[in-house]
A = this chain, B = another copy of it.
Amino acid sequence: MVEPLDPEMFDPVCPSSALPVQIGDKWTAMVVLCLEAGPRRFTELKTPLRGVTPKVLTQTLRAMERDGLVTRTAYDENPPRVEYELTPLGRSLLDLVAAARAWSREHLPALLEARAAHDSSPHASRLKRSPDSRA
């Protein structure tokens, strides 16, 4: 079995709300990351995906299953056990996620800085006079 997931693997302060790249739905990229090391159970996924409701996690996983990104295996045991695992196709998304994370590491600070500067500026005139002059 693989190691348990770090409940804090996703920084709640640096959410995808800021970065301009999204893979699939809101949680898809995080699910991919959670499944990188091996199959995981439903409740196992819920832990690091803090705040995700079972409904939304189910929706996400169903959509990923539909698209061939994960497989769902339910074992008729007691207590019930369901495992989700990345397919090779889903695994191919890891490169993309890595690219997005690389971009963020490199450029997100500049973006946030630009945003902060813009928000705090007194909205200077957006007009450039013709090359003559100005009063």
| The residue from B75, B111, B129, B130 contacting A67, defined by CB atoms under 8 A apart | B111
Q: How many copies does the complex hold?
A: 2
Which chain B residues border A20 with CB–CB below 8 Å? 23-24, 28, 67, 93
Bound-state Cα–Cα, A77 to B95, Å:
47
On A, residues with C-beta under 8 Å from B are 20-24, 28, 65-69, 72-77, 89, 92-93, 95-96, 99-100, 103, 106-107, 110-111, 113-115, 118-119, 126-131
* Chain B residue nearest in CB terms to A19: B24
Known: A20-B23, A93-B20. A68 touches B114 (CB 8 A): yes
- The answer to whether B103 and A95 have CB atoms under 8 Å apart is yes
Bound-state Cα–Cα, A43 to B18, Å:
29
Bound-state Cα–Cα, A43 to B72, Å:
48
Which chain B residues border A129 with CB–CB below 8 Å? 75-76
A94 to chain B, nearest CB (A): 11
- The answer to whether A127 and B67 have CB atoms under 8 Å apart is no
A77 to chain B, nearest CB (A): 5
